[in-house]
Structure 1
Amino acid sequence: MDEVLLRSLTPNVLAILVRRGADFATAEDAVQEALVEAVRVWPDGPPRDPKGWLVTVAWRKFLDATRAAAARRRREDLVQEEPAPGPAPAVDDTLQLYFLCAHPSLTPSSAVALTLRAVGGLTTRQIAAAYLVPEATMAQRISRAKRTVSGVRFDQPGDVATVLRVLYLVFNEGYSGDVDLAAEAIRLTRQLAAAIDHPEVSGLLALMLLHHARRAARTAPDGSLVPLAEQDRGRWDTESIAEGVQILQAALARDRLGEFQAQAAIAALHADAPTAEETDWVQIVEWYDELARLTDSPVVRLNRAVAVGEADGPRAGLAALAELDDSLPRHAAVAAYLHERDGDLATAARLYAEAAQKAPNLAERAHLTRQAARLNARPSS
């Protein structure tokens, strides 16, 4: 059974049902039933037209569900007759599903779950495993999301920025469960890039590829985090880096700069440096200035303070950091790093320990705790 093929066909099949007039929630259930049927039947005799087979079976499942529902009379005009069997239309409505799943009425977590289910073709169990939550919890989340968007019609252009943020959330979820969400986000973003000509879509794809290229070097054999400066750059995926840079250059050439292109440019400068010491921090600061103008994000300004500390010295970085709210996530960790570089090891150790208490995950907490212990273990002068 070709799981990759099934997952690639899922959004198109769902979009065809929705375009025919099916409500999203019932259509999505019908497609899932058709996929289950495909897993059962195809090994004995795969169809010549897999997409057409799935459309036909899913539409029949939808008809069965609709006729059994209390609202049958309201839908009779939509389901009076079954479309004639034959090859499925070549129209790709997947893009509409992206916009539907990123509907502003959905919370970010619901939008991500619905995108993975409807566009990614993942099962509820797979999504639950990736998020480390019970399957029943994820099923409820997806059901609520489907009900929310069931009445939405595509009568206005979708918000590309919202879709991209949902995909970036998927990417940043990491690699837990039996689904590699980072790889899944790249696959979905490639799909979106093929469907829509937009420089920020290319910028996000480039950013994902450049970050993903460092994946193998991010953790030590014991699972502990390895900071960027200490990573073995020989383990970086040079093909992904080359592809990411090429995509980014083409996007930047269109002179429609957006935040994902700016972030990708920073990632490209890190990837281009043969060693950490050869990183072009001056250019990185310039790109952070561009990014800050685009987003006015305090997190961007926090990362900029690190870059300033590398380009102009730790005291310049601390001065930039002093302009920011110290309640920001990772503020204490950045302050600790800059104080250590400035030679104030006692303050750095205290701040590393403080940052560890606020860390969002166990891996980061362990890393920051080790940094504090390393400095506290140094003999006093």
Structure 2
Amino acid sequence: MTSDDLGELWRELAPQVLGTLVRRYQDFDGCEDATQEALLAAMTQWPAEGLPEQPRSWLVTVASRRLLDHRRSESARRARERLDAERDVAGPPGEDHDHDDSLELLFMCCHPALTPPSQVALTLRAVGGLTTTEIASAFLVPPATMGPRISRAKGRIKAAGATLHRPDPAEYAERLPAVLQTLYLIFNEGYTASSGPELQRTDLTAEAIRLTRTLHRSLPGDGEVAGLLALMLLTDARRATRTGPDGGLVPLAEQDRSRWDGGRIEEGSRLITEAMQASPLGPYQLQAAIAALHVQAATVADTDWRQIRILYRVLCRIAPNPMASLNHAIAIAMTDGPRAGLDRLAELAADEPLAGHHRLPATRAHLLELAGDTAAAREDFLLAARLTTSLPEQRYLRSRADRLRTDPTDERPPHDDSTR
């Protein structure tokens, strides 16, 4: 087993092991530390001794021992030591080590005692395994802001006496919006990594899809759950074509559509069609419908931009957010011309979260290029490259700037956020 294989396995097992420990010991911070120690032990032992027959059970056992050792060493917690010592390290009789607690852990992290941003941040940390910097990028805030937010969220979970259990129907309804937002952010971080040398982190996209499938099985009649799953499948269907042999970014207009995953496109299209026919319209369904229009077009020229513009207009009305507004401006440009899109972008420039994000100058550069202002377009491509921390995106944006210096007639359609 290669180090990459081990890394994928650890990322898959970490939230499951953490969920088992939290359910058993009801100590979020202590269980998270113990899980990390068990993963470090596995990192040392597994490559040398081989993969255990039951990796998850191995990690649960080691993490339990570490947690109990820590508790025994703290005099302030001796009152709990007797209870813990009575428990066999392997867990209560009849406990199933193979039970996946990830979904229960997800809903616990979305406890109503937390604010929605804290719910999402904590879940990304505990279930998604994202770093503080990656979570901060997803929220468009500095890491120095996000770190304390995650720490406070852990404290509030503990103070609220939250326990790990299968949510009842009322809890599902109360916490579902934060859960869906969290899953989508995990998927997005995997689909376009906020930093680092790789454009994509397939471990994160796979985990987001897996958890969303689990949620869809629990709530098969919820249109937004189905919409989110459809959106992930339709977007991930293009994964293999988004990078070239050198790992560089390949925009939608240049992707080989014959290599898109037809099975995922078919499943995602079916899910969104059924959801929109049977459920109240929601933002994830709208985004999935937009993604379906992109992947169902046989060629770039066949893309139904007028329908996409309508869907974005509805999305901006029912669930306004900076990225939806940015993509609406692109759709306006594709139907009414680049100057109309640039006028809309000028209105969005005052939006504080969007103003410092690289997608604003990148989009403006595309539209300026289409409008024939290559000098201004080149400056905006370079500005976008400076703002992003993703190395593949930096290389792509700089290459676009370089091409404008030598090939000012090269025109290609801009891409909205759903076409990354």
TM-score (norm 1): 0.76
Residues 267, 151 of structure 1: CA spacing in aligned structure 2 closer, same or farther, 3 A cutoff? same
Residues 14, 361 of structure 1: CA spacing in aligned structure 2 closer, same or farther, 3 A cutoff? closer
1:180 is matched with which residue?
Answer: 203
For 1:280-318, what per-residue CA distance to the aligned partner results, in whole angstroms no more than 9, with x for missing partners?
111111110121012222321111111121123323323
2:91 maps to 1:87: no
1:324-335 superposed matches below 5 A: 324-325=348-349, 328=355, 329=357, 330-335=359-364
Contact persistence 1:114–1:142 (CA under 8 A): no
1:116 is matched with which residue?
Answer: 128
Amino acid across the alignment from 1:165: Q
1:22 is matched with which residue?
Answer: 26
Q: CA deviation at 1:259?
A: 1.7
Q: Tell me the secondary structure at the aligned position of residue 320 of structure 1.
A: helix
Aligned partners of 1:251 and 1:204: how far apart in 2? 10
Amino acid across the alignment from 2:206: A
1:243 is matched with which residue?
Answer: 267
Aligned partners of 2:150 and 2:319: how far apart in 1? 33
2:379 maps to 1:363: no
2:316 is matched with which residue?
Answer: 292
2:179 is matched with which residue?
Answer: 163
Q: Tell me the secondary structure at the aligned position of residue 243 of structure 2.
A: coil
For 1:239-275, what per-residue CA distance to the aligned partner results, in whole angstroms no more than 9, with x for missing partners?
1212222222233233222222211111111000010
1:72-83 superposed matches below 5 A: 72-75=77-80, 79=84, 81-82=86-87
Contact persistence 1:13–1:55 (CA under 8 A): yes
Contact persistence 2:339–2:371 (CA under 8 A): yes
Q: CA deviation at 1:91?
A: 8.0
1:189 is matched with which residue?
Answer: 212
Partner residue of 1:352 out of 363, 369, 381: 381
Aligned partners of 1:142 and 1:289: how far apart in 2? 33
2:375 maps to 1:342: no
Contact persistence 1:102–1:115 (CA under 8 A): no
Aligned partners of 2:162 and 2:32: how far apart in 1? 17
1:204 is matched with which residue?
Answer: 228
Aligned length: 363
Q: Tell me the secondary structure at the aligned position of residue 298 of structure 2.
A: coil
Contact persistence 2:120–2:178 (CA under 8 A): no
Residues 253, 37 of structure 1: CA spacing in aligned structure 2 closer, same or farther, 3 A cutoff? same
1:41-52 superposed matches below 5 A: 46=53
Q: Tell me the secondary structure at the aligned position of residue 348 of structure 2.
A: coil
1:96 is matched with which residue?
Answer: 104
Q: Tell me the secondary structure at the aligned position of residue 219 of structure 1.
A: coil
Aligned partners of 1:354 and 1:44: how far apart in 2? 47
Aligned partners of 2:184 and 2:369: how far apart in 1? 32
Aligned partners of 1:324 and 1:58: how far apart in 2? 49
Amino acid across the alignment from 1:192: L
Aligned partners of 2:52 and 2:181: how far apart in 1? 41
For 1:174-216, what per-residue CA distance to the aligned partner results, in whole angstroms no more than 9, with x for missing partners?
3668873222322232233334443322222222222211112
Aligned partners of 1:142 and 1:43: how far apart in 2? 39
Asked which structure has the greater CA Rg, the reply is 1
Q: Tell me the secondary structure at the aligned position of residue 246 of structure 2.
A: coil
1:260 is matched with which residue?
Answer: 284
Aligned partners of 2:271 and 2:154: how far apart in 1? 34
Q: CA deviation at 1:344?
A: 3.6
User: Over aligned residues, Cα RMSD in angstroms?
Assistant: 4.2
5+ residue gaps, structure 1: 118-126, 132-136
Q: Tell me the secondary structure at the aligned position of residue 87 of structure 2.
A: coil
1:283 is matched with which residue?
Answer: 307
Residues 78, 275 of structure 1: CA spacing in aligned structure 2 closer, same or farther, 3 A cutoff? same
Q: CA deviation at 1:355?
A: 3.6
Deviates more, 1:340-349 or 1:4-13: 4-13
1:283-322 superposed matches below 5 A: 283-322=307-346
Aligned partners of 1:107 and 1:247: how far apart in 2? 27
2:404 is matched with which residue?
Answer: 375
For 1:134-188, what per-residue CA distance to the aligned partner results, in whole angstroms no more than 9, with x for missing partners?
xxx9xx9999465553344348835222222222222222366887322232223
